[in-house]
Amino acid sequence: MTDGLSIDSDWNTLYIDGEWTESRSGDTVTVEDPSMRKSVAEVPAGVEADVDVAYDAAAEAQKEWEKQPPAHRQKVIQQFLQQVQENSEQIVDLLTHEVGGTRLMGETSVHIASDHANEAITLPRRMKGEHAESNIPGKENLAQRKPKGVITVISPWNFPLNLSMRAVAPAIAAGNSVVLKPSTNSPITGGLLFGKLFEETDLPGGVLNVITGLGSEIGDRVAGHPKSDVVSFTGSTEVGQRVAGIAGENLAVPAMELGGNNAFIVANDADLDRAIDAATFGSFVHQGQVCISINRHVIHEDIYDEYVDRLVQRAESLTPGSAHEEETDVGPIIDEPQRDEMLEYVEETVEAGATLETGGRTVSVDGVEDSLVVAPTVLSDATNEMAAACNEHFGPIAPVIPFSDVGEAIEIANATEYGLSGAVHAGDLEVAKDIADRMQTGNVHINDQPINDEAHIPFSGTSASGMGTYNSTGFLEEITETKWISIQHEPREYPL
């Protein structure tokens, strides 16, 4: 195991050019444990001068890194994956302290992150070009796949480990260098942890650089740095629009996974046992703080009452509380503003005519004055226009909306600016496929729930949910470019 990976370790330096260095500001940002509402670590408050040094290091290191043979780049990612797996227990513990992740969330994060690293290991040998005939006599055409250069990764707080991994590991495997800016809420598991783990590999200094700090202070400089070639961002649509705009000013390629408002459609012939199992997981895992979680339950009127009753029973069977307790199913919301916003959505939805079946309140935690834990919440008699349904509530909240026929279900599902994920349950598979085809979203899962991520399957959103593609060949194309080389073997006649 690698030393220095506990929450009590020293996290007060930036990782730049293969060295742990203090920020030029000398200031720090506090990391708060959302379960206990107390400070557990301090990380550097990076400033623009730190950002510039990181990009200089990344640009210089990338020149030599891309020359390394595929087998060597593959070996480094294999070494990194080994570090993740050997330190999995410490990583799970870090996620508990930093983002309030239950053990289930932590173990799932490590599993998905390992899947992305495994997929990245295959990329160096998949960077193949092609040979093409020419219309010009005596000419040979070659198309090479080359790394873009410096990849900026701006990662979110909700699943910081795997959502950083899906960009960092492929970028490095493909011969790029990386500047990683994690969320202020998860600077350790989304950023500095990567520096410590890669330090145990043969990765040259400067290929990975980690800058922590306040987005309000350094966010624009990171997103718009002139030495950045691709900007990978996961987060809200509002912030993503700004990031993409700033990146575009430097003609950097934006790869954006943004917000979602995902519908879970259940037809009247669905296997209700399976649907309720999927609904419980899809709404309440990691407190609903998942961009691809269920935001709206769209249920056929014939089974609506039974569905609501059974979902309420399952919600009330879950154990909310501190993420440090083994029996906890639903842990804390990440911070106070997020908690207050979702509870306000619930209040507005009830005022608009919905029925609060269960939840809608905070749950006390021993030793905590103002708990961030919100009880699993079910709202019946909801409509698409109500606050908890039309907004991405990002919490353990399940508004349940009735429909009378498939056409109405599709209309409800698509009545949103977002198009990230979704799911449909139906006994007739052809009906389910028809519904899935008509849902305007990047991902749809039949007889399942919408929280799915497999590193070898392309993942993308539509409309306000983003641009570009993650995973496998899709992301490889985002972080590489093709170079045309032609060879004129025989003398060519020109018209001049």
CATH number of the domain enclosing 318: 3.40.309.10
Say if residue 315 is in the same domain as residue 226: no
For 382, the token pair is 């909801």
Nearest to 161 by CA among 101, 239, 95: 95
Residues 352 and 436 reside in one and the same domain: yes
User: For this structure, is 257 an active site residue?
Assistant: yes
User: Do 411 and 278 reside in the same domain of the chain?
Assistant: yes
- Residue-level length of the chain: 496
In a domain, 488, yes or no: no
Query: Does the global pTM surpass 0.85?
Result: yes
Q: CA separation (Å) from 312 to 275, 335, 355?
A: 13, 26, 12
Q: Do 236 and 322 sit in the same domain of this protein?
A: no
Q: Structural domain tally of the chain? A: 2
Structure-token match 């899947």, residue found: 115
| Residues 345 and 383 placed together within one structural domain of the fold | yes
Q: Is 390 a residue of the active site?
A: no
**Which member of 32, 119, 291, 357 is catalytic?**
291
Does some domain include residue 401? yes
Residue 340 lies in a domain: yes
Same structural domain for residues 97 and 129?
Answer: yes
Residues 176 and 148 in one domain: yes
Q: Note whether 431 and 283 are same-domain residues.
A: yes
Do residues 241 and 280 both lie within one domain? Answer: no
Show the tokens assigned to 407. Answer: 């056409």
- Domain assignment present for residue 460? The answer is no
Claim to verify: residue 169 and residue 251 sit in the same structural domain = yes
Nearest-CA neighbor of 282 among 301, 295, 271? 295
Residue 2: the pLDDT is 82
Q: Other CB atoms closer than 10 Å to residue 424's CB: what's the count?
A: 30
Do 281 and 208 fall within a single domain?
A: no
- How much is the pLDDT for 54? 98
**Whole-number pLDDT of residue 279:** 98
Residue 477 in domain: yes
The two three-digit tokens of residue 469, written as one number: 């593609």
Q: Is 154:243 a contact under the CB 8 Å cutoff?
A: yes
Q: Which domain holds residue 397?
A: 262-446
Give the CATH number, domain containing residue 215.
3.40.605.10
Q: How do 377-380 and 355-358 pair as beta strands? A: antiparallel
Specify if 496 maps to a domain: no
Domain annotation covers residue 347 = yes
CA atoms within 13 A on the CB side of 468: 24
Encoding tokens for residue 297? 């339950």
Torsion of CA 462, 463, 465, 467, to 10 degrees: 70
Per the residue annotation, which of 32, 119, 257, 357 is the catalytic one?
A: 257
Which tokens in the block code for residue 270? 């669905």
Question: For position 84, what pLDDT does the model report?
Answer: 98
pLDDT tens track of the chain, all 496 residues? 788 999 999 999 999 999 999 999 999 999 999 999 999 999 999 999 999 999 999 999 999 999 999 999 999 999 999 999 999 999 999 999 999 999 999 999 999 999 999 999 999 999 999 999 999 999 999 999 999 999 999 999 999 999 999 999 999 999 999 999 999 999 999 999 999 999 999 999 999 999 999 999 999 999 999 999 999 999 999 999 999 999 999 999 999 999 999 999 999 999 999 999 999 999 999 999 999 999 999 999 999 999 999 999 999 999 999 999 999 999 999 999 999 999 999 999 999 999 999 999 999 999 999 999 999 999 999 999 999 999 999 999 999 999 999 999 999 999 999 999 999 999 999 999 999 999 999 999 999 999 999 999 999 999 999 999 999 999 999 999 999 999 999 999 999 9
Residue 351 in domain:
yes
d(CA 204, CA 17): 8
Q: Which of 39, 40, 43, 38 has its CA nearest to residue 11?
A: 43
- Bridge partners (DSSP) listed for residue 378: 358, 398
Tokens representing 402 are 């009735």
Residues 6 or more apart from 87 whose CB is under 8 A from it?
A: 1, 2, 5, 197
> Are 152 and 231 a contacting pair, CB within 8 Å?
yes
51 shares a domain with 32: yes
